[in-house]
């Protein structure tokens, strides 16, 4: 995607350094973060400098490749195994992280060069799959569609294009008149900060709405469809995504609004039988208690926005049961969970 006329990927690697857009500073500052070691890249993943299923996967793949490049000859295997554990421990929910780490780890058993090659391949596949998701998903979008999305599953969350936003971008480029309701997505505000920034950058009409306003607009008949991304999809179709996704799915079901999950087949976890098996990450309470913004002079600051002395609970994801999902939009096409076996469809699509 282009920023100020220049083409960018969300994350890329040059020599042994990984470069990524610092998402913690958006939309106020556009800064490229440099990770010079696998441990730096682990830090970037865990602190959400890079975030989103595909981007996390690409970062994990690059981190594993960095580990192979850094490993000392006299302790090579132990270094690699420790690095693999460190990378896997950064975020527990996103399937793409483990998928990419394992692929590069196995490739590196052949040679360091093969590990680096595999990491680049994973990033390229992510960009390609996101583009294909857009091509398949845009067919579901009618002219003048009013679409609600949650969190950020745009190009920032992947290497390029994104998942939930990719069909919207392509529908817009195809000349369709689309409007997007952007859930703010508390506590970190990925909708208000990242999705809105992307849509503004692409000149797509949108409005940010409070997380608890979706029912109001649905009840008014002002939402035609919901498209969200996914961090892990169990083989029965249960889907983990950013906290708040479940309530949007329940509301969509109540008001007979199609609810689509857009994700590459690398996000399907065939070793996970159902949603109860998905580990849900709990993050720091500070993300709830504090917010980051700019003061009147444009300086970026952290502000306490809750009652002093109170504590918070901060689950980062929830799980939406398959029964609430109309269909999955993948790079290979549309999967209908009610007419197709998820496991069979995934096997046929070679997502395992």
What's the CATH code of the domain at 55? 1.20.120.420
CA distance 342 to 207: 34
Report the percent of the chain where pLDDT is more than 70: 98
pLDDT in tens, 297-348: 888 889 999 999 999 999 999 999 999 999 999 998 999 887 777 777 766 6
Check residue 2 and give its pLDDT: 85
Reply yes or no on whether the pLDDT at 11 is more than 50: yes
pLDDT, the chain, mean: 94
86, 126, 211, 231: the catalytic one is 231
- Total tally of structural domains belonging to the chain: 3
114 and 152 part of one domain:
no
Mean pLDDT of 119-143: 97
Neighbours of 78 (CB within 10 A): 11
Q: Which two tokens stand for residue 259?
A: 């609810």
Q: Which two tokens stand for residue 267?
A: 């996000």
Task: Identify the domain containing residue 55 by its residue range.
Answer: 2-129
214 and 286 part of one domain:
no
CA distance 294 to 288: 18
108 and 166 part of one domain:
no
181 and 89 part of one domain:
no
Are 176 and 5 in contact by the 8 Å Cβ rule? The answer is no
Mean pLDDT of 80-106: 95
Mean pLDDT of 56-82: 97
Are 29 and 97 in contact by the 8 Å Cβ rule? The answer is no
223 and 301 part of one domain:
no
267 and 300 part of one domain:
no
Q: Which residues, in sequence order, are CB contacts of 332 under 8 Å at separation 6+? A: 132, 265, 349, 351
Mean pLDDT of 81-107: 95
Mean pLDDT of 159-185: 97
77 and 44 part of one domain:
yes
pLDDT in tens, 259-303: 999 999 999 998 999 999 999 999 999 999 999 888 888 888 899
What DSSP string runs through 173-228? HTT--EEEEEE--TTTTHIIIIIHHHHHHTT--EEEE-GGGHHHHHHTT---EEEE
**Which of 129, 155, 181 corresponds to the end of one domain?**
129
Q: 231 an active-site residue? A: yes
Check residue 351 and give its pLDDT: 40
Check residue 345 and give its pLDDT: 72
Mean pLDDT of 4-11: 92
Reply yes or no on whether the pLDDT at 66 is more than 80: yes
């Amino acid at each position: 995607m282009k920023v100020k006329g220049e083409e960018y990927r969300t994350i890329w690697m040059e020599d042994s350094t990984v470069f990524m857009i610092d998402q913690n500073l958006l939309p106020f500052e556009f800064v490229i973060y440099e990770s010079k070691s696998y441990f730096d890249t682990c830090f970037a993943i865990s602190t959400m400098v890079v975030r989103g299923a595909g981007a996390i996967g690409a970062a994990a793949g690059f981190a594993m490749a960095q580990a192979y490049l850094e490993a000392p000859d006299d302790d090579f295997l132990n270094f690699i195994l420790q690095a693999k554990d460190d990378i896997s421990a950064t975020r527990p929910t996103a399937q793409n992280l483990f998928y990419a780490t394992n692929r590069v780890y196995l490739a590196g058993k052949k040679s360091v060069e093969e590990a680096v090659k595999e990491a680049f391949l994973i990033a390229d596949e992510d960009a390609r799959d996101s583009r294909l998701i857009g091509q398949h998903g845009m067919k579901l979008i009618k002219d003048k569609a009013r679409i609600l999305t949650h969190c950020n599953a745009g190009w920032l969350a992947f290497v390029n294009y994104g998942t939930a936003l990719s069909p919207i971008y392509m529908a817009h480029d195809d000349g369709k008149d689309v409007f997007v309701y952007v859930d703010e997505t508390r506590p970190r505000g990925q909708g208000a900060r990242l999705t809105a920034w992307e849509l503004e950058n692409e000149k797509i009409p949108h409005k940010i709405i409070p997380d608890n306003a979706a029912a109001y607009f649905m009840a008014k008949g002002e939402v035609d469809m919901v498209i969200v991304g996914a961090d892990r999809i169990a083989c029965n179709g249960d889907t983990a995504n950013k906290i708040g996704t479940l309530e949007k799915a329940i509301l969509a079901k109540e008001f007979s609004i199609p609810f689509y999950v857009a994700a590459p087949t690398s996000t399907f976890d065939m070793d996970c039988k159902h949603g109860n098996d998905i580990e849900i990450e709990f993050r720091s309470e500070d993300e709830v208690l504090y917010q980051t913004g700019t003061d009147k002079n444009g300086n970026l600051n952290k502000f306490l926005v809750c009652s002093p002395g109170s504590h918070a609970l901060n689950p980062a994801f929830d799980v939406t049961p398959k029964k609430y999902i109309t269909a999955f939009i993948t790079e290979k096409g549309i999967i209908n969970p009610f007419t197709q076996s998820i496991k069979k469809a995934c096997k046929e699509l070679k997502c395992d």
